[in-house]
């Protein structure tokens, strides 16, 4: 029994779109870094400055997360497309090989080649110039 590795490309593409749409719902950096409040007095001003700095750091991190999600969603979609193309190519090559084998195995024997039949004759029939 062979182990089968399978990828549901439609599901992977759907998840990539879902992750991208959720990441785009995060508030923009300008909104995250906006800090309002009373800043009268030294303590309040220090606190608002600290809060403003942390909000700007958070906004930058939100931007990095959005970019990271976007890049990885694109990479996942590209990988799925590549796997689909390779799978189609492999299926096409397998069909051609199977057809060649079936043609070689069922071709009639050539005239003048007594004692040869079956696969050997089929190969000679498919591959002109093969030794008789």
How confident is the model at residue 118, as a pLDDT? 56
Give pLDDT < 50 ranges for the chain: 1, 112
Kindly provide the b/e burial profile for residues 48-66, where b requires at least 16 CB atoms within 10 angstroms of the residue's own CB.
Answer: beeebeebeeebeebeeeb
83 within 8 A of 60, measured Cβ to Cβ? no
Q: Cα torsion at 60, 72, 20, 12 (round to 10°)?
A: -160
Query: For the segment 28-65, what is each residue's pLDDT rounded down to a tens digit?
Result: 777 776 777 766 777 777 888 888 888 888 888 888 88
How confident is the model at residue 93, as a pLDDT? 82
The reported pTM is 0.48
How confident is the model at residue 19, as a pLDDT? 79
11 within 8 A of 80, measured Cβ to Cβ? no
Spatial CB neighbours of 31, under 8 Å, sequence gap ≥ 6: 59
Burial class (CB in 10 A: 0-12, 13-18, 19+), 12: middle
For CA atoms 34, 35, 40, 41, the dihedral sign is negative
Residue spans of alpha helices (H) in 25-130: 29-32, 42-106, 119-126
Instruction: Give the start-to-end residue ranges of the domains of the chain.
Output: 9-90
């Amino acid at each position: 029994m062979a182990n089968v590795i399978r990828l549901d490309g439609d599901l992977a593409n759907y998840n990539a779109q879902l992750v991208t749409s959720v990441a785009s719902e995060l508030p923009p950096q300008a909104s995250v870094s906006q800090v309002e409040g009373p800043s009268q007095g030294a303590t309040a001003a220090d606190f608002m400055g600290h809060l403003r700095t942390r909000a700007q750091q958070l906004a930058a991190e939100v931007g990095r997360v959005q970019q990271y999600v976007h890049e990885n969603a694109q990479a996942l979609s590209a990988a799925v497309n590549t796997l689909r193309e390779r799978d189609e190519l492999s299926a096409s090559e397998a069909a051609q090989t199977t057809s060649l084998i079936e043609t070689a195995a069922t071709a009639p024997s050539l005239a003048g080649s007594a004692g040869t039949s079956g696969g050997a004759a089929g190969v000679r029939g498919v591959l002109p110039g093969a030794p008789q």
